[in-house]
């Protein structure tokens, strides 16, 4: 693509993101590498800031990554065979994205809860802030998971899927955090502008899977605030134990994939346990994680952005219910839906399928910004139904 400037299809110009680039949405769905490529090709007039957003290169990541038994010359790998859509297969999805209209968007404004969190964390609670971002309260400690406050999940501010609702609270309204955990380095889970704001607004360490530390160092995060872990490694932060657990996914922000590790997180306090799934396909590893680190009072699992084109790397709602059971979960809180349009399914389909499959399981479906008390049963009120 050297010497050429691709003209993207109609990109977003409205806050609700209804005008968007189908090409960019398709590519970001299946990986940061393709997103970076379309951003470079579509922004020939202005690529300032893109190299920083893409993050560290292989040579910077390698010294840390190479210590893992899950890393080879080809990069990190899943323990189960996992197909990831590539190349011409991605381009083949473009017509479907172009012709599907606004199926992936709600019919009206998504209701938000904008209450500022309490200064002191409670025994057990979760405030879902949209997509995969969750503020977790665990035995009096606050853990922020996969924080993304940016408007686009892309290395560019001009191209890529945009938010369908504002972030319910500002970063400056966050309470004092005890830890910031990251599941992997895709743009919808690791956001450069957010990291830079957290660097100055908070003092908590970033607890990340192997290799992501190189991104953070390049963005100015000091070494003393970076804790990098391999699968089954853990760190102790006061009374909290954070364990890096296996997931089934992939990584990549530039043109090379799988240079950094992807993971889920088992979080344990003196009295309660929470599982944060980040982004993952179904894996037999859930059973072992539940046996070693569970049972969990709350499981926070992705239910959206699934598709027949990438069945191994994103849970569909029925698989998420199975994972919740494997993990020994109590309350199920779904994430990874409603905020960004990243797949072929309709906006409300993930939650409707989840409820249909969740026989006998306690499910909470909060509005973005809504806090759920993890100790009490939550009855979904159907707020999403008028928007489906």
pLDDT in tens, 54-76: 999 999 999 999 999 999 988 99
At how many degrees (to 10) do helices 22-29 and 32-42 cross?
A: 150
**Contact in structure between 296 and 332 (CB atoms under 8 Å):** no
Give pLDDT tens digits for 230-274. Answer: 999 999 999 999 999 999 999 999 888 999 999 999 999 999 999
Sequential DSSP letters for 30-83: T-HHHHHHHHHHH-TT--TTHHHHH---HHHHHHHHTTSTTEETTEE--SS---
What pLDDT score does 8 carry? Answer: 29
Q: Which residues contact 14 (CB under 8 A, 6 or more apart)?
A: none
Return the SS3 of 194.
helix
Residues of the chain with pLDDT under 70: 1-49, 86-90, 92, 97
How far apart, in whole angstroms, are the C-alpha atoms of residue 259 and residue 185?
Answer: 10
Please give the helix or strand (H or E) that residue 317 lies within, else none.
helix 317-326
Counting every residue written for the chain, the total comes to: 388
Q: Which residues contact 92 (CB under 8 A, 6 or more apart)?
A: none
- The pTM assigned to this predicted structure is 0.90
Return the SS3 of 313.
coil
What pLDDT score does 10 carry? Answer: 30
Going from the N-terminus, what domains does the chain have, and what CATH number goes with each? 7-388 (3.60.15.10)
What pLDDT score does 29 carry? Answer: 46
């Amino acid at each position: 693509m050297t010497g050429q400037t691709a003209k993207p299809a109609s990109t977003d110009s409205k806050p609700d993101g209804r005008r968007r680039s189908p090409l960019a949405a398709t590519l970001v769905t299946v990986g940061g590498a393709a997103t970076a490529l379309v951003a470079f090709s579509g922004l020939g007039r202005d690529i300032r800031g893109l190299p920083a957003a893409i993050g560290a290169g292989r040579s910077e990541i390698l010294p840390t990554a190479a210590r893992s038994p899950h890393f080879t010359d080809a990069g990190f790998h899943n323990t189960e065979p996992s197909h990831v859509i590539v190349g011409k297969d991605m381009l083949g999805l473009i017509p479907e994205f172009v012709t599907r209209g606004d199926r992936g968007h709600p019919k009206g404004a998504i209701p938000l809860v904008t209450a500022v969190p309490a200064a002191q964390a409670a025994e057990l609670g979760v405030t879902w802030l949209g997509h995969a971002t969750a503020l977790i309260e665990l035995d009096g400690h606050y853990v922020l998971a996969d924080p993304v406050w940016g408007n686009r999940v892309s290395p560019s501010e001009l191209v890529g899927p945009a938010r369908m609702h504002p972030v319910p609270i500002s970063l400056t309204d966050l309470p004092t955090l005890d830890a910031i955990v990251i599941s992997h380095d895709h743009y919808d889970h690791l956001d450069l502008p957010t990291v830079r704001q957290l660097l100055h607004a908070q003092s908590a360490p970033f607890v990340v899977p192997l290799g992501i530390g190189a991104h953070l160092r390049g963005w100015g995060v000091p070494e003393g605030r970076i804790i990098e872990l391999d699968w089954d490694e853990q760190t102790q932060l006061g009374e909290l134990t954070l364990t890096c657990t296996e997931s089934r996914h992939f990584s990549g922000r530039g043109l090379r994939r799988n240079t950094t590790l992807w993971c889920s997180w088992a979080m344990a306090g003196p009295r309660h346990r929470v599982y944060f799934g980040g982004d993952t396909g179904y894996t037999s590893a859930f059973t072992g994680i539940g046996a070693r680190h569970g049972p969990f009072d709350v499981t926070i699992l992705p239910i959206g952005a699934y598709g027949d084109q990438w069945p191994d790397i994103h849970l569909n709602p029925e698989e998420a219910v199975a994972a919740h059971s494997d993990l020994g979960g109590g309350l199920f809180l779904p994430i990874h839906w409603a905020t960004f349009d990243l797949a072929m399914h309709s906006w409300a389909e993930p939650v409707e399928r989840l409820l249909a499959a969740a026989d006998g399981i306690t499910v909470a479906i909060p509005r973005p910004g809504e806090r759920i008390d993890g100790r009490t049963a939550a009855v979904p009120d159907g707020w999403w139904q008028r928007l489906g």
